[in-house]
Chain A
C-alpha cells in the first residue's frame, strides 16, 4: 500500500470528496464515516477562531461567523499546531469578505480581538519602571528611547471600532455608537497578568507610535505636540511607567 492514503484523506477533509479512499477500506460502505474527520477538523477550526474573536462573533452571530471562519480556514489553513497562533490574518480576510462588506468596522474590531489575544500570550519580560530611571541624569531622560513592552498593541481605525469592541466585550451592555468615519486609537496591553485596554487621543497615539518606531522620548513628545500643542507627554510617560507599557531601552 502506498503513501497516497494521506493525500486522499486530506483531500476528503478539505473537499469532502472521499471516493479516493476506497482502496484502503475494507468496505465501501465505510466511506460515509469519513465525515467524522471532516466535521472534526472544520468544527475544530471554527471553534478556535470563535474563541479567538469573541467580539466579532458577538457582532455577526454564530450563524454568520461559522461560514466566515470556514472560508478563512479554506483560504489560510494552519501550519502550526499551536492554536493560539492561528488566525493572524483573519482581520485582513474580513476586510475582503464580501458578505460582511456592510460592516465597515468589522476588520478593525477583529484587530482588537487579536490584540487582546496577543497581549494575553505575550512575553513576561520585565517592564521598565521608575526605579530603573532613578539614577539617570535629568538631561539624559529626553534622550532615552524605551521600547514598548511586547504585550503592547496600538490599534487604529477610521471608524469607532474601539467603542464598538469595548461595549461588546464579555457581557457588556452594548452602548449606542454613532457610526461615522473619524480617527480612532486604542491601546491594548497586559499589566500584572490582566489584559487592559483604553482609548488613546491622536496625540497619545503619536507619542507611543514614535516610541514603537525607536524614537527618543524627546522626539516622541514632539510628535505628540505636532498633533496637539497642549499634549502632556509627561503624564502619559508617567502612566506608561506605572502600568507596564514600556519595555527595556534601546541602547
Chain B
C-alpha cells in the first residue's frame, strides 16, 4: 500500500504551525498525514498550504469523525466532504478508526471504545463497507487505544482480522496504541500480532503516551503529547522485523515541538525501515 515503485518510508503528522518548514524540507521519502476534518472548510489558507505541500510530497488522510464503531451509519454529508478532499488532494492512503464519536446526532471529540461483540462487528463491517463504497477505495482501519477492561465476545485482534476478511479493508497498526492497550488491559502482544493478517497492514503509527495523572502507571493514556517512548520504539522494531518495511508515521498533536524535533524522530523511524531493507537488524 505504498506508492508503486517507491519503498515504504517514514512520514510526519502535519500541523499548521509547521507548514513553512514542512514545505521547505527535502528529506527523501518524507510524506505527511492530516485529519480531513481539519480541512473541511469552504476555503482559506490551510487548503492552499496543503495544495502546496501535496505538490511535492505524498499526503494521507486520517479521519477521526466517521464514527465507524458507533450505532449509526457514517453520515453521508461527512462522506461527501471526504470525497471532495480525495478529489482535491489524491491521498496516497486513507484511514479511520475502530472507535466511535457520534451518538444520537451529538459529536464527542474523542475516540470512544466499541464493544467487542458479534453484533458490533456486523455493524462495524457495514460501516466500513459504506465508507469504502462512498469513497471508491480501500481504507485502513486503526486499532484503538483502550482504557476500559470490557467483557468481550471477540478479542480485538480477531475483530480486526474478521473486518479485513469481510470488507477487504486494510489495517493501520498503531504501535503506541498496541503498547498502551496491552499494558492497560493486560493482553499478549505476540498473540495479537499472530492473529492479525500481516499483509493487510498498510501503515504504522508511532506516538507518545503518558501515565494517567491520577492513576499513574496503572493507566497509560495515548496523549500524542510526548516523544515516542522507548518501549514503543522497541515494539516498532519488532513489528518491522516481523512484517518487513511499511509506511510509518510520527504523530504529535499536543505539546507540539519545533519541526526539527519531529524530524529527528522521523529519521529514527526511517533508519529502522532502511536497516530492514538492507537485511540488518536496526540499532536505534
Contacts and interface: CB of A to CB of B under 8 A. Distances in A.
Interface of A: 1, 3, 5-7, 9-10, 13, 21, 24-27, 30, 32-37, 40-41, 44-45, 48, 77-84, 120-125, 150, 190, 193-194
Contacts of B67: 81
B150 A24 contact: yes
Contact of B45 (A27, A120, A125): A120
Interface string B200-229: 000000000000101100010100000000
Given A1-B115, A81-B64, A37 B41 contact: no
24 contacts: A5-B115, A10-B108, A25-B150, A26-B150, A33-B147, A33-B148, A33-B184, A36-B212, A36-B221, A41-B108, A45-B109, A48-B109, A78-B106, A78-B107, A81-B65, A81-B66, A82-B37, A82-B41, A83-B37, A83-B109, A120-B45, A121-B44, A124-B43, A150-B42
B188 interface: no
Given A78-B107, A80-B107, 18 more contacts: A3-B71, A3-B119, A7-B103, A9-B112, A10-B108, A24-B148, A25-B151, A40-B110, A78-B109, A79-B106, A81-B37, A83-B37, A83-B38, A120-B45, A121-B44, A124-B43, A124-B44, A124-B48
Q: Which of A1, A41, A44, A190 has the most CB of B within 10 A?
A: A1
Interface in B94-146: 100-110, 112-113, 115, 117, 119
A36 B64 CA distance: 18
B25 interface: no
B44 A37 contact: no
B153 interface: yes
A121 B42 contact: yes
9 closest residue pairs by CB, A with B: A81-B65, A124-B43, A121-B41, A44-B109, A123-B42, A123-B43, A78-B107, A40-B110, A26-B149
A82 B65 contact: yes
Contacts of B276: none
Contacts, number: 113
Task: Tell me if A's interface is mostly helix, strand, loop or mixed.
Answer: helix
B78 interface: yes
A33 B215 contact: yes
Nearest to B185: A26
Given A6-B100, A81-B65, A81-B78, A122 B106 contact: no
A53 to B, nearest CB: 16
A101 B231 CA distance: 51
Contacts of B247: none
B40 interface: yes
A122 B71 contact: no
B70 interface: yes
B47 interface: yes
Interface string B160-188: 00000000000000000000000010000
B45 A193 contact: yes
A6 B71 contact: yes
Nearest to A35: B214
A50 B166 CA distance: 42
Nearest to A34: B148
Contacts of A193: 44-45, 48
Most buried by A among B37, B38, B81, B148: B148
Contacts of B41: 82, 84, 121-122
A122 B66 CA distance: 23
A41 B151 contact: no
A27 B147 CA distance: 13
A33 B219 CA distance: 8
Nearest to A29: B149
A142 to B, nearest CB: 30
Nearest to B66: A81
Contacts of A124: 42-44, 47-48
Contacts of A82: 37, 40-41, 65, 81
A1 B48 CA distance: 47
B110 A6 contact: no
Contacts of A5: 115
Contacts of B151: 1, 24-26
Nearest to B81: A82
A150 B48 CA distance: 17
A132 to B, nearest CB: 19
Contact of A36 (B46, B104, B149, B219): B219
B77 to A, nearest CB: 9
A32 B100 CA distance: 21
Interface in B12-50: 37-38, 40-48
Given A9-B112, A81-B64, A121-B42, A25 B149 contact: yes
Contacts of B219: 33, 36
A106 B212 CA distance: 36
Given A3-B71, A34-B148, A125 B43 contact: yes
